[in-house]
Amino acid sequence: MAKILINGGVPLNGEVAISGAKNAVLPILVSCLLADEPVTIGNVPHLHDVTTTMELLGQLGAQLVMDDRMEIQVDPRTTNNFVAPYDLVKTMRASILVLGPLVARYGHAEVSLPGGCAIGSRPVDQHIRGLQALGAEVSVENGFIKARATRLKGARVVMDMVTVTGTENIMMAAALASGTTVIENAAQEPEVVDLAMCLNAMGAQIEGAGTSSMVIHGVERLHGAHYNVLPDRIETGTFLVGAAMTGGKVRARNTRADTLDAVLSKLEETGAHVSTGDDWIELDMGGRRPKAVDLTTAPYPAFPTDMQAQFTALNCIAEGTGIITETVFENRFMHAQELQRLGADIRIEGNTVIIRGVKEMSGAPIMATDLRASACLVLAGLVAQGETTVDRVYHIDRGYENIEEKLSGLGARIRRIAG
Ligand SMILES: CC(=O)N[C@H]1[C@@H](OP(=O)(O)OP(=O)(O)OC[C@H]2O[C@@H](n3ccc(=O)[nH]c3=O)[C@H](O)[C@@H]2O)O[C@H](CO)[C@@H](O)[C@@H]1O
Ligand SMILES: C=C(OP(=O)(O)O)C(=O)O
């Protein structure tokens, strides 16, 4: 199993190009199932989750062609299988996103229940309830969600909690339903907006994306389109935190500052100088040690849970004590114990971690348990004195394109080694 080897202590400096957003490209690729013509998606990041999604769409019978610029053309006209098997769903929970499109377009879907994962139990009851509200017959049998419908009918769907993929599943299903659907308490994440924009480019009529109340007027068909995925705000934030932790100066290119308000304001609180342009963000720490910050995760536009682990790493070497509260997932502090192995002073109390910054951490072998935990451990390795090896980096490949190459480009001493 591959590992990442880091020799810490070098400030990050330079420019890094940000890739397309994982959490946008996955639902967007899946949404192509709704069309009756080929759809081309650009700015696709080279990620393991993208490969898994392509494999899943291929198993459903769609034809996919990728060109050398990583544009993917999805031709959904040959779709002839409606089952998302456990083997794929267990490696990528976002597979649940085929449920809405398959039942809306083909009247039939069987998707393996995703089950829990390292960060929490992550049920999908809201996806099921939403589809039932649109008139689908849904049952759970032998570990599979089985859904059937002739044609879905628009309805008012009130989500019990803000769910990103839940909102996306219902939005995609409602796009081809008869009549109008209103989703209340909808997720407002930029990736939800990106999906709505892609669907609208295919002929859907979706209003209110980016607010808590979305209105979807169902249409008879969706046609082909060309759509470019928005930049990854979590990848952007991860590199900026790296610059802040190492006292460096990094400009992230091909990104969008307007999707990162909560993260940038926390970075400014650390003492970093942050400047932004149309498609770039620059963070200059000027060789200083960051100040510890307190934060609480919550749905967008609040501070994203997908940046929590990275800020936990930052607080480990910051000046002062930082308190981080996780309200989205019930078990998202698996990185804390690994950070302790590097010498961090962290205490977990329920859904809060209290981190007293230490002046120095020291390298050690550590192990990643999930995607953002692995990013956090790599960041910690960048500041720890000596050698850190991060094991189980397959997690990081789910969501970061060429992370070690991008970090090397910023001056980090990092490389991938065979396990
Ligand atoms: C592919 C993708 O976009 N993944 C993102 C998505 O995951 P995902 O869409 O799976 O996360 P949700 O927004 O659905 O989860 C939010 C909370 O709602 C709960 N819940 C959700 C659905 C449901 O039917 N019942 C229920 O109880 C979850 O357990 C969790 O506690 O949003 C998360 C929260 O921003 C991010 O961390 C993930 O990176
Ligand atoms: C939790 C994440 O992804 P997923 O929902 O795909 O597990 C993430 O991107 O941090």
308 lines ligand 1 (CB under 6 A): no
Mutate to test the pocket of ligand 1, among 30, 48, 97, 163 (most ligand atoms within 8 A of CB): 163
The DSSP string of 32-61 is GGGBSS-EEEES----HHHHHHHHHHHHTT
Amino acid letter, 43: N
Sign of CA dihedral 9, 418, 342, 308: positive
Longest dimension (CA), the chain: 63
Q: Which pLDDT belongs to residue 115?
A: 75
- Cα of 180 from ligand 2 centre, angstroms: 30
Question: In this predicted model, what pLDDT tens digit does every residue of 40-94 receive, in sequence order?
Answer: 999 999 999 999 999 999 999 999 999 988 899 999 999 999 999 999 999 999 9
Place of tokens 């007293």: 356
Q: Which pLDDT belongs to residue 318?
A: 98
With H, G, I as helix, E, B as strand and everything else as coil, classify residue 377: helix
Co-location of 201 and 70 in the same domain: yes
Question: In this predicted model, what pLDDT tens digit does every residue of 139-182 receive, in sequence order?
Answer: 999 999 999 999 999 999 999 999 999 999 999 999 999 999 99
Co-location of 217 and 253 in the same domain: no
Question: What pLDDT band is residue 1 in, cutting at 50, 70 and 90?
Answer: confident
Place of tokens 């994203």: 304
Domain end marker among 171, 202, 228: 228
Co-location of 194 and 245 in the same domain: no
Domain end marker among 203, 228, 253: 228
Q: pTM higher than 0.95, yes or no?
A: yes
Residues 6+ apart with CB under 8 A from 142: none
Co-location of 319 and 176 in the same domain: no
Co-location of 410 and 318 in the same domain: yes
Cβ(218)–Cβ(177) below 8 Å: yes
Residue 240's H or E segment, with its range, is helix 233-246
Co-location of 93 and 131 in the same domain: yes
Task: Flag whether 328 is marked binding.
Answer: yes
Q: Which ligand is nearest to the CA of 163?
A: 1
Question: What pLDDT band is residue 238 in, cutting at 50, 70 and 90?
Answer: very high
- Give the span between the Cα atoms of 169 and 238, in whole angstroms: 27
- Give the span between the Cα atoms of 383 and 368, in whole angstroms: 17
Co-location of 138 and 246 in the same domain: no
Co-location of 247 and 346 in the same domain: yes
Question: In this predicted model, what pLDDT tens digit does every residue of 244-287 receive, in sequence order?
Answer: 999 999 999 999 999 999 999 999 999 999 999 999 999 999 99
- Cα of 78 from ligand 2 centre, angstroms: 29
- Give the span between the Cα atoms of 143 and 320, in whole angstroms: 48
With H, G, I as helix, E, B as strand and everything else as coil, classify residue 198: helix
- Which DSSP category does 73 fall into? E
127 lines ligand 1 (CB under 6 A): yes
Q: Which pLDDT belongs to residue 384?
A: 98
List the structure tokens of 159.
């989500």
Domain end marker among 180, 208, 228: 228
Q: Is the per-residue pLDDT at 116 higher than 80?
A: no
- Cα of 330 from ligand 1 centre, angstroms: 11
Q: Which pLDDT belongs to residue 178?
A: 98
High-pLDDT (> 70) share of the chain, %:
100
Q: Which pLDDT belongs to residue 419?
A: 76
CATH number at residue 349: 3.65.10.10
Q: 339 φ, ψ to 5°?
A: -65, -35
Task: Flag whether 397 is marked binding.
Answer: no
Helix pair 125-133, 99-106: axis angle to 10 deg = 20
For the chain, what is the domain count?
2
Task: Flag whether 123 is marked binding.
Answer: yes
| Bridge partner list, 385 | 362
Co-location of 223 and 119 in the same domain: yes
Sign of CA dihedral 32, 37, 43, 46: positive
- Cα of 278 from ligand 1 centre, angstroms: 30
- Give the span between the Cα atoms of 323 and 338, in whole angstroms: 18
Place of tokens 């599979």: 144
Co-location of 323 and 215 in the same domain: no
CB under 6 Å to ligand 2: residues? Answer: 22-23, 93-94, 306, 371-372, 399
Average pLDDT estimate for 361-373: 96
CA gyration radius, the chain: 21
Range of the domain at 110: 22-228
List the structure tokens of 95.
């597979």
With H, G, I as helix, E, B as strand and everything else as coil, classify residue 76: helix
Q: Which runs of consecutive H residues, i.e. helices, occur in 286-370?
A: 308-316, 334-341
Co-location of 43 and 162 in the same domain: yes
- Give the span between the Cα atoms of 233 and 321, in whole angstroms: 26
Count Cα atoms within 13 angstroms, Cβ side, for 193: 14
Co-location of 286 and 175 in the same domain: no
